[in-house]
Amino acid sequence: MTIRLLAAALLCALFTMPAAAQGFLAGVVSIDVTMARDRGEVCIASQYGVGDGYHGRRTASGEKFNTYALTAAHRTRRFGSYVTVTNLANGRSVAVRINDRGPFVRGRCIDLSRAAADAIGMGGLARVRVE
């Protein structure tokens, strides 16, 4: 709606300008605008909650960890926030809710629950984009 109002205001201003002032727009046909998007972080993701004793234990947010839920551990993202994790090997994505802290291994940026790892076709480790 605001784009229409802006376009209408621009057209009104253009047609009410004196002819001498309209000359500076004579050669302009269109303006090419590109919206930049944050491409997130690219790193190694790991899977946790399978045979390591975490299932059922309390997470850093205070809730019980469920390896069959679409959740993840991240060092800095807010608890309860959602991120999209894309497996760069196959292009599959999943939206997960951050409910824990970790991983605590250098080079890794996110730990996925078993359900989230299965959703993107990840074995133990995978190169991913987190947005």
Structure confidence by residue, pLDDT tens digits, 64-82: 999 899 999 999 999 999 9
Was domain 41-130 assigned CATH 3.40.50.800?
A: no
The amino acid at 39? R
The rounded distance, in Å, linking the Cα atoms of 83 and 113 is 13
- Express each pLDDT in 21-48 by its tens digit: 555 555 655 555 555 555 789 999 999 8
Record the tokens describing residue 45, joined without a space: 């993701």
The rounded distance, in Å, linking the Cα atoms of 58 and 34 is 44
Record the tokens describing residue 80, joined without a space: 């309860």
Tokens 């004793």 identify what position?
A: 53
DSSP string across the chain:
-HHHHHHHHHHHHHHHS-HHHHGGGTT-------------EEEEEEE-SSSSS-TTSB-TTSSBP-TTSSEEEESSSPTT-EEEEEETTT--EEEEEEEE----STTEEEEE-HHHHHHTT--SEEEEEE-
- Hey, where are the domains in the chain? 41-130
pTM over 0.95: no
The rounded distance, in Å, linking the Cα atoms of 61 and 38 is 26
- Express each pLDDT in 78-111 by its tens digit: 999 999 999 999 999 999 999 999 998 888 999 9
